[in-house]
Amino acid sequence: MIKGALRMPAENDSPWLLDRHKRGLQNLDRMASYPEHEPVDLVVVGAGAGGVTLAQRLARAGWRIVILEKGPFWDPDRDWVSDEKGAGSIYWTDTRMIGGSDPIEMGKNNSGVGVGGSMTHFAGYTPRLHPSDFEVRTRDGVSVDWPITYRDLKASFERVELELPVAGQDWPWGDPHGYPHAPHPIAGAAVVAWEGARKCGIEMRVGPVSITNGVFGNRPHCIYRGFCLQGCKVNSKASPLITHLPDAIEHGVEVRSDSMVTRIEVDQASGRCTGVTYVRDGTEHLQRADAIAVCGYAIETPRLLLNSTSRRFPNGLANDNDQVGRYVMVQGATQVAARFPELLRMYKAPPPEVSSEQFYETDQSRGFARGFSIQTISPLPIGWAEHVTAEGHWGQALREYMRDYNHWTVLGVLCELLPQAENRVTLSKLVEDDNGLAVATFSHSLCDNDKANIAFATKVVQEIWDSAGAQDQLKIDRFAHLVGGCRMGFRADDSVVDADHRAWGVPNLFIADGSVLPTQGSANPALVIMALSDRLAGLLVRKQTGAERRSWRSRRS
């Protein structure tokens, strides 16, 4: 029996548009080319999880779409290497300023660049949010409620899970569900973690990972090569570059890579967007559009809006209520490594293997609101050296730990840190990029609830390793992921977009990326972002049919 090949997505031919023997996209010669002076139906800013998914859906409904992406158009065969250091180009490493009591390091653990976005270098975990995530305020008295519920996203989760496709065991937490692909086999490093968790009474499950477990169209079975964080070389791990873009291009989407959008243009009389200015090869261009979807993620989306000042929007686009850039969240992602006598070789598999969401929701006996998830993760040698030096080992001791790499395995947590108004993106007052645009400044401080959550989660993982019989442990405090910054909400005075991702006060501006999340749960954000875009596309296709879109144009002119 061919594992995993039994169900294919009905409205996405991407897996068949790839080549079995080559990794890059095969239909680029058929890509559309739209003139700049004529408005397209939609300009999408950013070719990541949110933007590409949205474009693929709308292109199938006949929309003419241009995606502008700051980074290059990746060809995995040509551009990606099995080398931690050599993979640096897939991270967004342009200058950004950081500050606050707990500043966040930017780069490999939270920001991608190029067509495919951050998913080209994510580990592959694609859990759903829980129903409780959408009503945190009501249930737990912290954060805010979402203007939508789990029920609004459930069908989108299912659709996207089939397209990636997600492999994993039946999932008992949140809204219990199954996955389209069977769970991957797990390696020695995850076996010891699972055993330790079992002894502590903690349930772990295999997955959920968006890595093929079987042939999927022309995408092959995962070869367990590792280096997923450096970009998948065989097209097994999902990223929009291979899961949605081939189909989008086939349906008339044009992608302009190496194109940095510098501002959104607005008609001063009507307050509607008219297009975007972008820089390509040092030259400024203007692409006119009937509507704009900003999908630049939690730092660059607020930065673009804040930089798009005009007479009508002197504080930045959609920022009349001083909400743009606020409530940016990261997840507390402390990792605890453990040493075992046997050889574990944690690099010999995808980093995501088993995980647990047993501690996801609030348990009042813990003394803090909300919770965390636990996941295996496998740092490669440079990442491993960071673990060792974080505990102060240097010189001879560092060399010994490095030599011992194959005996170690790592569990990480993802703690739900709460949204805070002052954890925010502002524009730098000192530093500009090559285009003369102020770079983003990101201030981040933990609140007491965050600190208690991280401390508790770390203790749980240390107990797992104790129970598993670990001989030695190393802990590194770190953060992962980025969401928020342009959150969706019920009212214009405490959010940036409404439940339909439409910016308050700018009717043809949409935001479709991780920045709209009002809370983040303990889930890795990729699937959530894609599901939100899937839902938005459905709304736009149903509500804004051709007649409605024509009326946007007539109103503008």
Partner 1 sequence: MAIPAKLSNPRDLFLQLLAEALWIERTLAFEVLPQLQRDADSELLAEPLAAHLVETRVHAERVEQVFLASAAEPTAAASAALEGLRRQYAELVEAIVEPRLRDLFLISAAAKTEHLEIALYENLLRLAKHVGVDTGSFEQIVAEERHALATLEDASATLLPNLPD
User: How far apart (Å, rounded) are the C-alpha atoms in residues 325 and 491?
Assistant: 16
For residues 524 and 416, the answer to whether their CB atoms sit within 8 Å is: no
298: nearest Cα among 85, 104, 116:
104
Binding window for partner 1 (CB under 8 A); candidates: 70-78, 85-93, 99-107, 243-251: 99-107
Window of 101-109, 240-248, 509-517, 526-534 that interacts with partner 1 by CB under 8 A: 101-109
Structure-token match 């108004």, residue found: 421
Between residues 190 and 454, which has the closer beta carbon with respect to partner 1?
454
Shortest distance (Å) from residue 493 CB to partner 1:
10
Name the DSSP letter for residue 213. Answer: S
Going by DSSP bridges, is the β-strand pair 408-416/326-332 parallel, antiparallel, or unpaired? antiparallel
Judged by CB under 8 A, which of 32, 98, 191, 499 binds partner 1?
98
Per-residue mark of binding to partner 1, 479-498 (x: CB under 8 A): x-------------------
48, 299 contact by CB (below 8 A): no
Q: Which of residues 29, 37, 101, 396 is near partner 1 by CB under 8 A?
A: 101
- The least distance separating partner 1 from the CB of residue 452, rounded to whole angstroms, comes to 13
CB of 481 to partner 1, least distance (A): 15
* CB-based contact 416:372 (threshold 8 Å): yes
- Among 41, 84, 102, 534, interactor with partner 1 by CB under 8 A: 102
* Burial per residue of 335-362, b for 16 or more beta-carbon CB atoms within 10 angstroms, e otherwise: bbbbbbeeebbbbebbbbbbbbbbbbbb
Q: Is 390 in the site for partner 1 (CB under 8 A)?
A: yes
Which residue, 129 or 447, has its beta carbon nearer to partner 1?
447
Binding residue for partner 1, selected from 105, 203, 400, 434, defined by CB under 8 A: 105
Please, what is the end-to-end C-alpha distance for the chain in angstroms? 58
* Per-residue mark of binding to partner 1, 412-451 (x: CB under 8 A): ---------xx---x-xxxx---------x-x-xxxx---
Neighbours of 492 (CB within 10 A): 16
97 interacts with partner 1 by CB under 8 A: yes
Instruction: Give helix 526-543 / helix 150-163 axis angle, nearest 10°.
Output: 110
Helix pair angle (526-543, 49-60), 10° resolution: 30
Q: Which is nearer to partner 1, 272 or 444 (CB)?
A: 444
> Is the CB of 72 or the CB of 103 nearer to partner 1?
103
Please say which residue, 309 or 428, places its beta carbon nearer to partner 1: 428
C-beta closer to partner 1: residue 103 or 220: 103
103 binds partner 1 (CB under 8 A): yes
Task: Name residue 425's beta-bridge partners.
Answer: 442
Other Cβ atoms within 10 Å of 171 Cβ, number? 19
Total number of residues that touch partner 1 (CB under 8 A): 28
For the bound state, the minimum distance from the C-beta of residue 11 to partner 1, rounded and expressed in Å, comes to 43
Q: Count other C-beta atoms under 10 Å from residue 298's C-beta.
A: 29
Which residue's CB is nearer to partner 1, number 293 or number 333? Answer: 333
Sheet of 97-99, strands arranged across: 97-99, 438-443, 424-432
Closest approach of partner 1 to the CB of residue 479, in Å: 7
Instruction: Give the Cα separation of 498 and 320 in Å (integer).
Output: 15
Q: Which region, judged by CB under 8 A, interacts with partner 1, from 28-36, 142-150, 173-181, 476-484?
A: 476-484
Tokens for 403, please give them. Answer: 């030599």
User: For residue 398, with 0-12 CB atoms within 10 Å meaning exposed, 13-18 middle and 19 or more buried, which class applies?
Assistant: middle
Q: Contact with partner 1 (CB under 8 A): which of 121, 159, 288, 478?
A: 478
The reply on whether position 332 binds partner 1 by CB under 8 A is yes
Stretch that binds partner 1, among 25-33, 100-108, 174-182, 237-245 (CB under 8 A): 100-108
One-letter-per-residue 3-state SS of 359-385: CCCCCHHHCCCCCEEEEEECCCHHHHH
Cβ proximity of 51 and 271 under 8 Å:
no
Among 454, 516, 527, 531, binds partner 1 (CB under 8 A): 454
CB nearer partner 1, residue 404 or residue 477: 477
Residues that bind partner 1 (CB under 8 A): 97-103, 105, 322, 332, 390, 421-422, 426, 428-431, 441, 443, 445-448, 454, 477-479
